[in-house]
Amino acid sequence: MPRKFWLLLAFGGLVYETEHRRLDLDALKAEAEEAGGKLGGIGAAEALIEHAEERVALLAEHLPYGAPQDWVAVGSTPLFDEYERKVREIGRRFDPAIDESDARLLRRQMEAICVAGAPPFPPGHIPAFTPDPDDDPIVFGALLGGADYLVSDDAKHIVPGGEPHEYEHEDRRLLAVTFGYLVSDLMPPINWSEIDGALLIEALTAPHG
């Protein structure tokens, strides 16, 4: 299920990429035309957009009816660091073949799926959100990154008792929920059995050249 969920986030990220790359390119073209200049690198930019569009079309053919296109992932350096650390520490419990290079690769995959990230923030300026100071940077990064939901099965600290928990900082708010709650109560109903998590590799395929 988590891998299928990652596929949906990757799909949403590709949709986001196609829309925003096209908008950015059109804006740059208009600016160059107005200034009487010439915009370079259009071919490379168009190729990136076309690649993302191809990925979107491929995945759309294999995703079930009602699969969301606007669910995207937001990341932060503390989140990526913690993810990589956990893979190194307990990854072998799930797959004995996981090694150091796999931990770095999985981190890069996670970074690639995220469409936005929190701006850098100094460690000494992180509010206390949870009983565990090691978890506070993850909550803070999600808030600064503009996430709506923080998904965690840490029922001891981040999602106390496994129940939805709201965090806020200044004018930013998010809801921390377990993965099970997210799927059952927040996401649109879809047929998860029709999602092939192996397609994640297709979503992450880099452009040629």
Same-domain pairing of 199 and 179: no
The amino acid at 24: D
173 and 88 within one domain: yes
Q: Say whether both 78 and 168 belong to one domain.
A: yes
Q: What tokens appear for 169 in the block?
A: 């900082």
Whether residues 23 and 111 share a domain: the answer is no
> What type of residue is 105?
L
Cα 154 from Cα 157, distance rounded (Å): 6
Is 209 domain-assigned?
Answer: no
Residue 181 maps to a domain: yes
**Same domain membership, residue 77 and residue 150:** yes
Residue type (1 letter), 175: L
Ranges of beta strands (E only) in the chain are 73-75, 114-117, 149-151, 165-169, 172-177
Domain count of the chain?
Answer: 2
Q: Report the C-alpha gap between 204 and 117 in whole angstroms.
A: 18
Does residue 83 share a domain with residue 160? Answer: yes
Q: Are residues 80 and 172 in the same domain?
A: yes
Instruction: Please name which of 190, 204, 185 lies closest in space to residue 63, comparing C-alpha atoms.
Output: 190
Whether residues 88 and 145 share a domain: the answer is yes
pLDDT number for residue 209? 58
State the 10-residue block means of pLDDT for the chain, 209 residues long: 93 92 79 76 82 93 94 94 91 85 90 92 91 95 96 94 96 96 94 94 82
**92 lies in the same domain as 29:** no
The residue segments making up the domain with residue 198 are: 2-68+190-203
- Whether 91 and 148 share a structural domain: yes
